[in-house]
Amino acid sequence: MPIHRDILDHGLGGVILFNRCLHNPDQTANIVSPGQLKELCTELQNLAPRTLLIGVDQEGGKVRRLWPEAGFEDLCSARQMGSDTDDTALTREQAQTTAAMLAELGINCNFAPVVDLNTNTSNPIIGTLERSFSDDPLHVARHAAAWIDAHRTRGVLSCVKHFPGHGSSAADSHLGFVDISENWERHELEPYRILLRQDMVDLVMTGHLFNRHLDTDHPATLSAPIIDGLLRTELGYQGVVVSDDMQMKAISDHYGFEEAVCRSLAAGVDMLVFGNNLEYGSDICPRAIKAMDDGLARGVLSEKRLLRSLGRVNKLKERLGNDHD
């Protein structure tokens, strides 16, 4: 099985789980039932020589992989959680239930919460899917902190997304190039700023978002000015940066595979996500490793940069407290 090979032979550091195969709807996906999923997570974790990040998108509402129809706990949308802007009780209760479920299943990383602002309610990938807590950055930060804290008590990592802000966009980066230059405003950074001051950030996920006022050439995932400059230098974040799915059309339609891998790592991304769901390749992991090796040989990537990323990822995994060594 390719995933077993990649964990054993290629040092794959994490997996992301899906409840359906978009590239082949007739194929069984990773998530069928609680019992099956727990068995799968245990199998993969036991196979890994070091702690494996096992991640899932379990935001709530329309964006989740664990559905009641398959025997999992129900979970309302972020908009519903954030409807009472002054009271985070519902958010905390929903997050506690979610985190307890994930921990029991063996999932140690939830790619949530969304901290994008609901500034464009017609946004096809944020607003219309009810993925944002609020259009107010203070309310978003308050609810996100409650979510993250509840996950931490269960030993589950959270990931804030999509940096530097997807809420004002008018397009979906799954489907193509997204230019937020005329819509994005700096107050979309405020949830990140607040959460970082509170030490409430485990991981940050970049969005495949182009903003010529921040980088005249590349979207955020491939942008050193946005990742190293804005996120790390201006906002002071020194933790793990993870990409959104590198197979989304905003990247895959505009950059070659090797170029995307090398540019993102050179820009400051520490972990690359290839969902292998929008399209499938059994060799995606060795291809990415070869792209890195070639990038090092050509001088596009530096060993220092990659070792720095490895250090951040290892430090993050140490927090999970269950390394195999």
Active-site positions? Answer: 174, 244
* Angle made by CA atoms 183, 186, 190, in degrees to the nearest 5: 125
Contacts of 177 (CB under 8 A, 6+ apart): 171, 210, 219, 249, 250, 253, 254
Contacts of 289 (CB under 8 A, 6+ apart): 10
Distances from the Cα of 14 to the Cα of 3, 17, 41, 56, 272, angstroms: 10, 10, 11, 11, 10
Phi, then psi, of 56 in degrees rounded to 5: -155, 150
DSSP 3-state of 26: coil
Distance, in Å, from the CA atom of 104 to the CA atom of 110, rounded to the nearest integer, reads 13
* 3 state SS for 53-88: EEEECEEECCEECCCHHHCCCCCCCHHHHCCCCCCC
Judge contact between 204 and 231, C-beta under 8 A: yes
DSSP 3-state of 317: helix
Q: Taking the mean position of all CA atoms in its chain, how far away is CA 60?
A: 15
Distance, in Å, from the CA atom of 86 to the CA atom of 156, rounded to the nearest integer, reads 25
Q: Which two tokens stand for residue 206?
A: 């970049």
Query: In the beta sheet, which residues pair with residue 271?
Result: 242
Judge contact between 19 and 66, C-beta under 8 A: yes
